[in-house]
Homo-oligomer: A and B are copies of this chain.
Amino acid sequence: VKAEILSIGTELLLGSILNTNARFLSQKLAESGVDVYRQTSVGDNVGRIAEAFAEALRRSDAVVASGGLGPTKDDVTLEGLARFLGRPLAVHQPTWRHIKQRLESRGYKMTSLSGRQCRLPVGAIVFPNPVGTAPALLCETVFEGRKKWIAVFPGPPQELEPLFKPVLTTLLRRANVRPEHFIKRTIRISGLLEIDVARKVPDLLKSRPPLTVGIYAKPGEVELAVMSKHVSRAKALAAADRVEKTVRRRFGADVYGVDNETVASALGALLRKKKSTLSIAESCTGGLASDLLSDVSGSSDYFAGSLVAYSNRIKEDLLGVAEEVLKKHGTVSPQTAWLMAKNVRQVFGTGYGIAITGIAGPSGGSVKKPVGLVYIALSSPRKITVHENRFYGTRAEIKSRAARMALDLLRRALLKNF
């Protein structure tokens, strides 16, 4: 099946938002063996939408569109689709009930605006939206003598993503495509540059389909994306497993996880295994390290809590960092980090402690202590270590790199029985 992607929304043409849907759809279609030949974005305009459907189907078998299904009058994707199909829009009763129920359960009333979302092209296959109002649609049509398919998804990514699989499965079944199994595995590596990772896996990066390995640099980490395709799911899986094993053997503790694992979840799993607990004293990261930890479901089992000590008075009063230490060495110093890590463990009564103090910028830096200087200290019942770091970037980037580095340092330490 040859497909094109059509993104609908004037906000895309104005550059107000990034087109993350085009990327998601392209990725998922590629994983399902559907070739994507073109991506197009057009504005919220009935004529231009209808024309874009026609153009795309002149070249391809299917169009996968998103956006423009909202309740307000500027959203006209359904009108554009109906015009292209030459079919009227009519109220779709199940969708009407779904939207009415959803609105009423939240204490809102059905209005003529929300009613717009129930008027769908006659003959469309409708996929109710589990997390919103606008449904996804699949339309089959004969265009220039050949059978063609149009899938339309709501624009908000959290609504589009859960609807993708059921719609695509139906599309492929209708198109009589024998599905290939596609296994994608992302192997996550911390603490190395892209070039250093590439040098250790030149053989893997040269792999050709049905197995490919891509390398991507992300802030503070490098991803190896393994893609393995086969009509047998077991064989696709086995090939991906072999690559993962090879990478883990070559990189050891630098591999912190795969797929949806994060540094926080990897650290959490280790703490859980040790039946231990953690507390954090954060200064320049302002709560971000704690936020990352608490993003992991069930983290309250090992994460006791943290103290965000933004002012020196709090560091003194609540963390017991002596005024003399702050005066003599400064807030951003290995000595302060050491004491914060030592005391946070005791204040919270946890097995381990992390402390972070640094200069996130853009102001507050000096020649001796530039923006980006961050001390991270780790404490256990046995010892305390301090790590000096220099991060680059904006305030938000420095905060993010420092918070992730702190969690990763403790993860690596726990692997060595810190």
Q: Which segment, of A293-301, A373-381, A407-415, faces chain B?
A: A293-301
Cα(A349)–Cα(B174), bound, Å:
66
A399 CB–B CB distance under 8 Å: yes
Q: Residue among A22, A74, A289, A308 with the most chain B CB within 10 A?
A: A308
A136 CB–B CB distance under 8 Å: no
Cα(A38)–Cα(B45), bound, Å:
11
Q: Which segment, of A143-151, A247-255, A266-274, A311-319, faces chain B?
A: A311-319
Q: Residue among A15, A27, A362, A395 with the most chain B CB within 10 A?
A: A15
> Given A74-B205, A289-B287, A308-B308, are A22 and B19 neighbors across the interface (CB < 8 Å)?
yes
Closest to A288 in B: B291
Chain B residues whose CB sits within 8 angstroms of the CB of A307 once the complex forms: 305-308, 318
> Given A198-B113, A282-B287, are A18 and B16 neighbors across the interface (CB < 8 Å)?
no
Contact of A290 among B194, B287, B362 (CB under 8 A): B287
Interface residues on A, range: 35 or more
Shortest distance from the beta carbon of A199 to any chain B beta carbon, whole Å = 8
Contact B295 A396 (CB under 8 A): yes
Cα(A241)–Cα(B94), bound, Å:
44
Cα(A289)–Cα(B42), bound, Å:
37
Closest to A397 in B: B158
> Given A18-B20, A38-B42, A48-B37, are A395 and B286 neighbors across the interface (CB < 8 Å)?
no
Contact of A362 among B17, B70, B297, B310 (CB under 8 A): B297
A232 CB–B CB distance under 8 Å: no
Shortest distance from the beta carbon of A27 to any chain B beta carbon, whole Å = 3
Contact B23 A17 (CB under 8 A): yes
> Given A72-B215, A305-B314, A311-B304, are A40 and B43 neighbors across the interface (CB < 8 Å)?
no
A114 CB–B CB distance under 8 Å: yes
Contact B72 A198 (CB under 8 A): yes
A195 CB–B CB distance under 8 Å: yes
Contact of A16 among B225, B318, B397 (CB under 8 A): B225
A10 CB–B CB distance under 8 Å: yes
A191 CB–B CB distance under 8 Å: no
Shortest distance from the beta carbon of A104 to any chain B beta carbon, whole Å = 14
Contact A310 B314 (CB under 8 A): no
Chain B residues whose CB sits within 8 angstroms of the CB of A309 once the complex forms: 305
A354 CB–B CB distance under 8 Å: no
A393 CB–B CB distance under 8 Å: yes
In the assembled complex, 30 residue pairs joining A and B whose CB atoms fall closer than 8 Å, in A order, are A11-B225, A15-B28, A15-B36, A16-B27, A18-B19, A18-B20, A19-B22, A19-B23, A70-B194, A70-B217, A73-B205, A74-B215, A113-B195, A131-B392, A156-B217, A282-B290, A286-B293, A286-B294, A287-B289, A288-B291, A288-B294, A290-B290, A294-B308, A297-B363, A304-B311, A305-B307, A305-B310, A306-B307, A307-B308, A307-B318
Interface residues, chain A, with chain B CB atoms under 8 Å away: 7, 10-20, 22-30, 36-43, 48, 70-74, 108, 111, 113-114, 131, 156, 158, 184, 193-195, 198, 205, 214-217, 225, 227, 280, 282, 285-291, 293-295, 297-300, 303-311, 313-314, 317-318, 347-349, 360-363, 392-397, 399
Given A15-B29, A114-B195, A305-B307; 8 other pairs, CB 8 A cutoff = A38-B48, A71-B194, A74-B215, A297-B395, A300-B311, A305-B310, A314-B348, A318-B348
